[in-house]
Amino acid sequence: MALIIKDRVLETCSSPGTGSVTLLGAVTGYQSFNAAIGTGNTCYYTIADQNGNNWEVGIGTFTSPATLARTTVLASSTGSLVNFSSGTQNVFETYPAGKAVTTDTLAYPPAIGGTTPNTGAFTTLTASADSAFNSTGYLQLPKGTTGQQPGSPATGMVRYNTSTNLFEGYSGASPAWSSLSGIVVNNDTTSSAYYYPLFAQVTSGVTNQTYISNPNYLFNPSNGELSALELYMKNNVLGAAQNITTAYTLPVSTNAITIGPVTISGSGIVEVPSGSTSVWQIVFF
């Protein structure tokens, strides 16, 4: 069943009372409900006395070949279902004022995009110019899981991801969908890749600003290795642990120095790669 709107649909009927209307055929120059609406479909209708002041506007359901059920009354001369008890009535399809949507900015109620836009629910609403929201309330964005992201996204789309609990936008770049709230701080201890260090006060949540260096300053989460081109000493003092308790392999072609005395215990071991020019020197004072 569908709502059908057609032009030039006009028939007559005779005294339908308050029940369904039995249509008597199209008026010359017009089409019948049977031809225009089709059985099982709904339409907006008007019934009006040819001689009198009775009229009714509503939503009707048409059944072939000639029956129009007055399903819902929208307006009438009595404010409710009208009892057409005598005479001949015209029955025609109409477009009720209370259901009208228009692009005319001078219309009342105001048109969509007019000075005071109508409210309503729309399947698709497209703005052809810049848009401003002046309320002190909210604008509710679409939301869904990562798996519910649009199948054919377009650059500039914005939504709320209920899987990550973050607002995200689509850029088309890599990653295509990225957080609008900043970067998730992750307590990663397994990745063996090298990353720019992120300085934050927490190991979870969202940060709005990151501080990154260049390839001369990197961090490997899997082994905790932090590499820097040079070290900075506070007040010309550089501290070092006296105990080596975990295994460590000196990188190839790298020289290392340890300030002694130093104790190797537990699983601690320092390995210099065989066949390498690497050197590990312990200096005692």
Tokens found for residue 134: 């002046």
The pLDDT assigned to 6 comes to: 95
Q: Give yes or no for a contact between 25 and 36, defined as CB atoms under 8 angstroms apart.
A: no
The pLDDT assigned to 40 comes to: 95
- 239/237 Cα distance (integer angstroms): 6
The pLDDT assigned to 178 comes to: 82
What are the residue ranges spanned by the domains of the chain?
1-129, 143-181, 243-283
- Model confidence pLDDT, tens digit, residues 33-81: 999 999 999 999 999 999 889 999 999 999 999 999 999 999 999 999 9
Q: What is the largest CA-CA distance in the chain?
A: 122
Q: Letter for the amino acid at 54? A: N
- 35/62 Cα distance (integer angstroms): 11
- Find, among 162, 143, 24, 12, the residue nearest to 88 by Cα: 12
The pLDDT assigned to 186 comes to: 64
Tokens found for residue 233: 């000493």
- Model confidence pLDDT, tens digit, residues 154-182: 999 999 999 888 899 998 877 788 888 66
Show the CA angle centred on residue 277, arms to residues 274 and 282, nearest 5°: 90
- 181/174 Cα distance (integer angstroms): 17
The pLDDT assigned to 210 comes to: 52
- 270/239 Cα distance (integer angstroms): 19
The pLDDT assigned to 87 comes to: 93
Tokens found for residue 58: 């509503």
Residues in CB range of 215: below 8 A, 6 or more apart: none
Report how far Cα 154 is from the mean position of its chain's Cα atoms: 12
Show the low-confidence residues of the chain (pLDDT under 50). 213
Q: Give yes or no for a contact between 56 and 77, defined as CB atoms under 8 angstroms apart.
A: yes
The pLDDT assigned to 270 comes to: 85
